[in-house]
Structure 1
Amino acid sequence: MKQLRILILEDLEADAELVKRQLVKAGIEFEACRVEGRAEFLQALSEWRPDIILADYSLPSFDGLSALRAAKAHDTDIPFIFVSGALPEDVAIDAVREGADDYVFKDRIARLAPSLSGALEKREERRKRRLAEDELRQTEERYRHLVELSPDGILVYRNSLILFANKAAGEILGTDPEELVGHNVYDFIETNYQALASQRMKRLDEYGFVPLVETVCRRPDGTSIQVEATSVHIPYQGGQAVLSIIRDVSEKKRLEREILEISGREQRRIGQDLHDTVGQNLAGAGFLAKALEQKLTRQASPLTPDATKVVSLITQSVSQTRALSRGLCPVDIVANGLRLAFAELATNTREFFGIPCSYEGDARCSNTLDGLDQTTATHLYHIALEAVNNAARHSRATRIEIRLTCENDAHILTVEDNGVGFVEGETQDQQGMGLRILDYRARIIGASLQVVSKPGKGTIVQCTLRY
């Protein structure tokens, strides 16, 4: 312990010496300053700056309670102990209430050293607690600024009731943050997505967090926006709550959709060029090769077998070019319907890959399918196309089925194969990229995608689009 500066407020020199002898006896290193009156006491407080004050309660020109108040006004943290001949119980209670750390009777002076040590320990505890509280306040202030300045919306809610919303959350949801507080969080989720949100809340309760997901929110003015959201449990105001971070991705989705539409148009152009130029040129070459084969046959030429091979290769190339053209430029989905496009896909798969592939459509889907726009229909077609290509190229399947059904106000597109399957998360690079593209296309049109596969049990790809 460092040498203490002890201010002794005592009018009797003998009593002050008694105090000092007791402290020396206890092995406490200190420097003492004795004062008797108010002026000396206040001067010593400001100039001598003591570490602790030992004060008699009753003095001729000053009293201990006034000294205590003056000391606390100067420094609320300075330890203060009364060392007095006697203190009535009510006076002792008042002294402690005013901030005294302890009181020691002079006829029990042996208690002084433990009392002094205890007062210093309490001061150190108060100092540490104050530092911790200051650090906590600073941390809370930093986090408050981070939350308020965050470009992402932040919501805190318990039992689905919103307790806090930052400025960005209000901007994303189209209202003042204060207006969000007290509302049910489901009031701002599109009806078709509320069941899915409820499932995610169950996952949150089970695992403590929900990874980044996409959903559609509804603003008070009736407009809808696409958002990315992630949620986690946090302690909040004495209980457990949910913190959700939301980000408006409507513009991002619009740009992504536009890019895919441009890509689709370019694919269709390439497919049309394959059909109109390469395909026609190959067909012409095939016609000439066939004529040459017939001429060589009539002449019994030894080159006839070679000509026959050329005809066969050109015929195969024509078939492959047509299949590629149809894949890049499928039938006009809006004019002829998705059902015809899926049927054509099954036919092309059988011809190109030599794998039995069938299509089965639910007649109940007719009216709702006809109402799909070109972009949504095209993405659904490409989801089926990519799933079929994955199955044909990577699964070693001997059977592929394409099914389109309608259940619970949703179109359900299913592509199932009996191939080797895979362990989810351990797909090959090309196949894994294909699955990511499937999921990406599904999210673009607001659909959900589920892939179920087990080694040796085949794979089921299912896309659900609500209408």
Structure 2
Amino acid sequence: MTYPVTAHSPDAKQMRVAVLERDMRDVLAGQRENTIWEAGASAGVLLVVCAVFWWWLRNFLRKRMDRVLDLIRNRQDSLTPVSVLPGADEFSRLSAALQEQEALFRQIVDNINEVVWVLDGNRQVIYVSPAYERVWGRERDGTVKGNPLWNQYIPQEHLQKLKVLFETLYSDGKAVHFEYPIIRKSGERGWIEASAFPVMAPGGGIHRVVGISRDVTDRKALEEQFLNISEQERRRLGHDLHDDACQRLASLKMRCEVLVASLRNEHSSSLPLAQELKTQLTGTSALLRDIARGLSPVEMDGEGLMLALRKLADLAETIYEVPCFFECEHTVLVSNTDAANHIYRIAQEFINNAARHGHPTRIDMTLETDWESVSLTVTNDGVPFTEPENAPGMG
């Protein structure tokens, strides 16, 4: 530090300066140490405060997010309504939006007659709509969720077919449509018509499968009733042809025989025409009798199906003038009359389609059994079958 020194005598003409010097290194070193310590302490306090705040905020957000995820899981799992989180933050608004969507979803699935069900990627049931209890006749309890195909409620003969369909769905990723019977809690059998649609994951593969099932038991009963009525009408028509038309033709045939005998005695030139008329009446009577038997086939008990199919082959050969052969190496017994009638009608339809549309030179029909099931095969050497677009027929 420098200080000016002024002379007190009047004759003094020069200024003098006093210079003071001090070593400040120790002082500055101490101040620097104090400053560093204070800065470090402040930084440590701030770091601790930030860490505590971050821990609190992290736990708060995690709890809120867990609540939202729980709401979503409850919606998928079933059965409790979505509640709204307290507060006014983004999570509360998100839970309110989920509740609104849940209410809309429940209004749909709780009031439709169809059963809505969802399978996960492991083919386990994760959701079933309330209509399940009405359609299946069973309660929605823990035995439904997690069960891959409700195995205990489906007859074993149809269970394997369902498994094959689901294998196709999970492998090809295409929707499937199928029907299968169920056994209700009361023991009666019902029919279910279902459609299943895959939900693809963003990275590929099937994430879930959504299905819709409906009760078609009444429709199946009507179809069976319609088939029975149709079969009854065929039998009635066959009996009418046999008991009325065939008898009339038989009477005409007898009169024609009398006419032929009379013309033969008179040596009339009309004798050949009368003989031809007799022959035509005989053939027509036989053909109409075979048609009547086809409409009302022989009794299907025991070996009746074999006899009916053999006569069907002879009748088809007569009508269509195409060789038709029936082969049955071993005795095939069908005790169920309805099943035997259905097999006969299927064979009849096969032969009619082959003769009318295939233009074959030969039709072969084979009936086989492996003591557990009956197999009917109808083949022909006609043109291949091609399904036309917008076909007007019923086939």
TM-score past 0.5 threshold: yes
- Counterpart amino acid of 2:163? S
Q: Which residue of 2 aligns with 1:148?
A: 110
Cα separation, 1, equivalents of 2:105 and 2:184: 27
| Residue deviations 1:361-402 (CA, integer Å, cap 9, x gap) | 252643xx2x32x22221121111111111122221121122
Cα separation, 1, equivalents of 2:390 and 2:383: 12
Secondary structure of residue in 2 paired with 1:184 = coil
| Residue deviations 1:24-68 (CA, integer Å, cap 9, x gap) | xxxxxxxxxxxxxxxxxxxxxxxxxxxxxxxxxxxxxxxxxxxxx
The answer to whether the aligner puts 1:183 opposite 2:150 as a matched pair is no
| Residue deviations 1:328-383 (CA, integer Å, cap 9, x gap) | 111111265211111121122222222221222252643xx2x32x2222112111
| Residue deviations 1:160-197 (CA, integer Å, cap 9, x gap) | 32111111123222221234112231333221112211
Deviation at 1:231, TM superposition (A): 0.8
The answer to whether the aligner puts 1:208 opposite 2:191 as a matched pair is no
Q: Which residue of 2 aligns with 1:5?
A: none
| Residue deviations 1:133-167 (CA, integer Å, cap 9, x gap) | 87776445323321222211222123232111111
Cα separation, 1, equivalents of 2:301 and 2:288: 24
The answer to whether the aligner puts 1:271 opposite 2:238 as a matched pair is yes
- Counterpart amino acid of 1:229? A
- Counterpart amino acid of 1:302? S
Q: Which residue of 1 aligns with 2:80?
A: none
Cα separation, 1, equivalents of 2:158 and 2:372: 13
Secondary structure of residue in 1 paired with 2:110 = helix
Q: Which residue of 340, 355, 369 corresponds with 2:307? A: 340
Query: Contact (CA 8 Å) 2:306, 2:332: kept in 1 or not?
Result: no
Q: Which residue of 2 aligns with 1:174?
A: 137
- Counterpart amino acid of 2:218? E
Query: Contact (CA 8 Å) 1:190, 1:224: kept in 2 or not?
Result: no
Q: Which residue of 1 aligns with 2:221?
A: 254
Secondary structure of residue in 2 paired with 1:177 = coil
The answer to whether the aligner puts 1:414 opposite 2:377 as a matched pair is yes
- Identify if the C-alpha distance between structure 1 residues 162 and 351 changes in structure 2 by more than 3 Å, giving closer, same or farther: same
Give the number of the structure whose residues are more often strand, by fraction: 1
| Identity across matched positions, percent | 28
Query: Contact (CA 8 Å) 1:356, 1:398: kept in 2 or not?
Result: yes
- Counterpart amino acid of 1:345? L
Q: Which residue of 198, 210, 223 corresponds with 1:233? A: 198
Unaligned runs of 5+ in 2: 1-45, 58-88
Q: Which residue of 2 aligns with 1:318?
A: 285
Secondary structure of residue in 1 paired with 2:341 = helix
Unaligned runs of 5+ in 1: 1-87, 99-126, 436-467
If you compute each CA radius of gyration, which structure gives the higher value, 1 or 2?
Answer: 2
Cα separation, 2, equivalents of 1:408 and 1:269: 33
How many aligned positions are there?
Answer: 314
Cα separation, 1, equivalents of 2:105 and 2:391: 42
Q: Which residue of 1 aligns with 2:40?
A: none
- Identify if the C-alpha distance between structure 1 residues 394 and 154 changes in structure 2 by more than 3 Å, giving closer, same or farther: same
Q: Which residue of 2 aligns with 1:63?
A: none
Query: Contact (CA 8 Å) 2:360, 2:380: kept in 1 or not?
Result: yes
Cα separation, 2, equivalents of 1:400 and 1:213: 32
State the TM-score, normalizing by the size of structure 2: 0.69
State the TM-score, normalizing by the size of structure 1: 0.59
